[in-house]
Amino acid sequence: MASPEQQETGHGLDQHAPAELKDEVAALTGANPARCYQCGKCSAGCPMAVETSLRPHDILRLINMDQREKLMENDSIWLCLTCETCAARCPNSCDPARVIDTLREMSLASGSTAAPKAISAFHQAFLNQIKSGGRLFEVGLIANYKFTGGALLADVMTAPGMFMRGKLALKPRRIKGVKDVRRIFAACEAAAKEQQ
Amino acid sequence: MKLGYYPGCSMHGTAREFDESLQAIAKPLGLELTELDDWSCCGATSAHATNRLLGVALPARNLALAEQQGFKDVFAPCAACYSRLATARHEMQEDAKLDAKVKEILKRPFSNSVGVMNIVEVLRGLIPQIKEQAVQPLSELKVACYYGCLLLRPAEITGFDDAEDPSSMEDVTRATGATPVEWRMRTECCGGSFSLSRTGSVVRLGRAVINDARAAGANAIVVACPMCHSNLDFRQQAMGQREGATEMPILYLPQLVGLALGLSPQTLGLKRHFVSTQPVLELVAAGAAKGEVK
């Protein structure tokens, strides 16, 4: 029978119990979410707080309450712009921006589909471009994104404007070290899989 | 000053005039830029938002190239590239495990010895040269200096200016003879990489930036980031400005400097913008007509 103290912390005697989310996040980020005292400075300065159901200080609170699923299945973590305002203003060095980056990575690893389709399609299209040529080819990015994101016609009228202003390079430039870049991708993707 | 130049992907496309204006002012200011051979994309937002290791390893490849090619500092004018390169350098310094892992992945010698510089700190260092070379003081021009997010934050990574109350862009602006206005939105985010994937947010955030600059009496907003430029210039039409409100020209910082140096609008790529820069050129001409030409 576990002591009242052990029951309270939930650790008990079972050493194989999954780590609490706050410990896992702390290990992955080097920041300590448990230091958050809910002052809300992060959310006051967050440019996306008016659009998200969870604001940065809510996210920190849910981490400390070990509400893994609530976080992974909410699109708020995907709406973070990584503008770093929260991290710059946090009086306790909780680094919400870094924490949210980590939650996104964990969410992807968990197979969650909470990311808005347009945003995950954009990230995928962006990374595909780098993998293919070593650099981002903007026309390729837009085409790739439009197909996978399903927003084929959005913005189509602005392409001639971009072209007229000489702002669209029409041919991708493949770098000599493209194999090098692909190897980096492969190694990082393998490392992410290993973490799961 | 000799620097390894990391243009980044957008300087060859949508931010072409950022590159053009920078190249145009480099020579008169005594800035020698040598492009990093075989540089690759920094991964920007998409890499770090989905895979931390990738978000460090992609920029680290470029830092390693710079080191191998003998550069002491690498200069990344794009704020997003700057942020990723500086972050990779910082995180590898702080986290020995990450450092070892990235080095193993890079498979090339790398001692993380190269410094990373952004456009604002480079131009701030050239203020005496700007003053000396200015033939056309921009005395009639009032501009709102827009830092956005990635140039200043996180402070322990950027460290060249105060993250909440910066002054470097204003200092460069004063060197051109233009007047920086005081306004509230200069360190707010423009919506960054959501330009394509969540345009509504970008329009909302950009509108607040432009309205505040206008209320402060600015004739133009000056930026140092291709994403800020694209979100404020290209997306301005979608912002549905109030009736009677004039459009707000968006200039890259080296374009402003180039105008003071007397370089032509074509050379500075001022004709490539979506929002016309003509009102700015008229104010520059008005200043010149007042007899302040050297």
Interchain pair B50, A167: CB under 8 A: no
Strands B73-75 and B32-35: unpaired
Residues of A in contact with B57 (CB under 8 A): 184, 187-188
> In this predicted model, what pLDDT tens digit does every residue of B150-181 receive, in sequence order?
999 999 999 999 999 999 999 999 999 999 99
Which CATH number fits the domain B2-119, given the four candidates 3.40.190.10, 3.40.50.2020, 3.40.50.11540, 1.20.1050.140? 1.20.1050.140
**A7 pLDDT exceeds 70?**
no
- In which band, very low, low, confident or very high, does the pLDDT at A60 lie, cut at 50, 70 and 90? very high
**A3 pLDDT exceeds 80?**
no
Contact status of B196 with chain A (Cβ, < 8 Å): yes
The CATH number of B123-292 is 3.40.50.11810
Mean pLDDT (whole number) for A105-132 = 91
Contact status of A176 with chain B (Cβ, < 8 Å): yes
Residue A126 pairs in a beta bridge with none
Task: Please report the pLDDT score of residue B21 as a whole number.
Answer: 98
**Sheet of strand B2-5: strand arrangement:** B32-35, B2-5, B73-75, B115-117
State the DSSP H helix or E strand holding residue B116, giving kind and residue range, or none if neither.
strand B115-117
Interchain pair B45, A82: CB under 8 A: yes
Mean pLDDT (whole number) for B97-112 = 96
CA distance A22 to chain B (A): 18
Q: A51-60, A102-111, A137-146: which has the minimum mean pLDDT? A: A137-146
Mean pLDDT (whole number) for B101-106 = 96
Task: Please report the pLDDT score of residue A173 as a whole number.
Answer: 78
Interchain pair B50, A108: CB under 8 A: yes
- In which band, very low, low, confident or very high, does the pLDDT at B195 lie, cut at 50, 70 and 90? confident
**A13 pLDDT exceeds 60?**
no
Task: Please report the pLDDT score of residue B293 as a whole number.
Answer: 47
Task: Please report the pLDDT score of residue A58 as a whole number.
Answer: 98
What are chain A's domains?
17-109 (1.10.1060.10), 117-174 (no CATH)
Q: Cα separations (Å) of A186 from A24, A104, A193, B48, B51?
A: 25, 19, 11, 15, 12
Interchain pair B191, A47: CB under 8 A: yes
Contact B76, B8 (CB under 8 A): yes
How many alpha carbons lie under 13 Å from residue B33 in its C-beta half-sphere?
A: 20
Residues of B in contact with A82 (CB under 8 A): 45, 48-49, 149, 192
- Calpha distance B106→B100 (Å, rounded): 10
Residues of A in contact with B52 (CB under 8 A): 28, 101-102, 105
| CA-based nearest residue in chain B for residue A155 | B196
Tokens encoding A126 = 């962006």
Interchain pair B196, A85: CB under 8 A: no
**A11 pLDDT exceeds 60?**
no
Helices (H), chain A: 4-9, 21-29, 41-45, 56-64, 68-72, 85-89, 96-109, 117-133, 138-149, 159-164, 178-195
Mean pLDDT (whole number) for A144-162 = 68
Q: Please name the member of A130, A167, A191 whose beta carbon is closest to the beta carbon of B43.
A: A130
Residue A188's contacts (CB-CB under 8 Å, 6 or more residues apart) are: B51, B53, B54, B57, B105
- Calpha distance A159→A149 (Å, rounded): 17
Task: Please report the pLDDT score of residue A158 as a whole number.
Answer: 66
**B292 pLDDT exceeds 70?**
no
Q: Where are the domains of chain B?
A: 2-119, 123-292
Tokens encoding B204 = 């909302």
- In which band, very low, low, confident or very high, does the pLDDT at A141 lie, cut at 50, 70 and 90? confident
Task: Please report the pLDDT score of residue A143 as a whole number.
Answer: 80
Among B236, B228, B274, CA closest to B252: B228
Residue with tokens 């709406």: A79
Interchain pair B196, A145: CB under 8 A: yes
CA distance B11 to chain A (A): 9
Interchain pair B41, A135: CB under 8 A: yes
Interchain pair B199, A158: CB under 8 A: no
Contact status of A177 with chain B (Cβ, < 8 Å): yes
Contact B286, B140 (CB under 8 A): yes
Mean pLDDT (whole number) for A85-95 = 96
Interchain pair A30, B95: CB under 8 A: yes
Task: Please report the pLDDT score of residue B132 as a whole number.
Answer: 97
- Calpha distance B172→B174 (Å, rounded): 5
Contact status of A161 with chain B (Cβ, < 8 Å): yes
Contact status of B194 with chain A (Cβ, < 8 Å): yes
**A85 pLDDT exceeds 80?**
yes
pTM over 0.80: yes
Tokens encoding B240 = 């549905």
Tokens encoding B219 = 């004739």
A-contacting residues in B 224-253 (Cβ below 8 Å): 234
Interchain pair A102, B52: CB under 8 A: yes
Among A98, A27, A57, CA closest to B156: A98
Residue with tokens 């950009």: B206
Interchain pair A145, B197: CB under 8 A: yes
